[in-house]
Amino acid sequence: MHKSAKVILVVFLLTACATTPISDRQALILIPEWQEIQFGEQAYKKALKDQKDSENTHLNQVLKRVGRQIAAVSAMPKLDWEFRLIESEDKNAFALPGGKVAVYTGMLAICKNEAGLATVLSHEIAHVIARHGAQRMSQQLLLTGAMMGASLSLRNNTQRNIIMSALGLGVLYGVTLPFSRGDEGEADQIGLVYMARAGYDPEEAIRFWKRFSKEKGDKNPPEWASTHPADETRVRGLKSYLSRAKYSYENIKLKHGLGETFNLPVSADKNIPEKPKPVPGVSVETFN
């Protein structure tokens, strides 16, 4: 490579580095934010096309209220945040660039209360704030040598595979690709502070993950074989971040504590639809 070209490349990569809020981690992002948001909105429409929204008015109101409170204290309060409650026994949630967040009703039994729900929502919101989808897309562009930047398009077959994979799906649609352990740990760290700033007791995050671990039982693969951290590792990480979150919590005026405890219907409802099938372009945060 010519010397001047090398200099240009180095300058380009340096200017493409962004500092993530809360974690202060340096991240390489080659995708313009407007384009990342566009991809997220397109994927969100596909994700919800065949999904059934929950008809529980009260729980929908709670979800939107808690989500908006967390989004308001995030680094991107002016995004077009949207929170949807999907009727499904799946214990999952997902977030997409641009502030599109969905939670399955099956998750609420483990959340148990508003602070548990805040744990899930703040984690998902943190993925959006840290722009983990754009980070992964940038890494794949570098690996493929395809420095395409703003010329990326979902209409291009080769580029579509890069985009879909970065947003959470492999080349073969239906194969979900969760974020890396590093991204998961960072989302935990950022989310813990955000839920505290929003007025929810951050210690409930520890209890939530312990409940979730108990729910999963022995289903987890060993940590070395999983992109998600083992539950024990996750809890240790959260405990190490807790002091900062508690400081934020203690210094806000309006505290919700654990908030409302959910009064959930018995899950024997036969009207609950089948487990939703993966949709191309959906970044699903798989908790189970």
Give residues with Cβ within 8 angstroms of 271, minimum separation 6.
Answer: none
The SS3 call for residue 101 is strand
Distance CA 52, CA 49 (A): 9
185, containing H or E segment = helix 181-197
Of residues 145 and 58, which shows the higher confidence score?
58
The position carrying tokens 């998750």 is: 107
pLDDT given for residue 207 in this prediction:
96
Provide the percentage of residues in the chain whose pLDDT is more than 90: 44
Question: What's the pTM?
Answer: 0.80
Residues labelled catalytic: 124
Least reliable range by pLDDT among 22-26, 101-105, 171-175: 171-175
Q: Mean pLDDT highest for which of 14-28, 207-221, 229-243?
A: 229-243
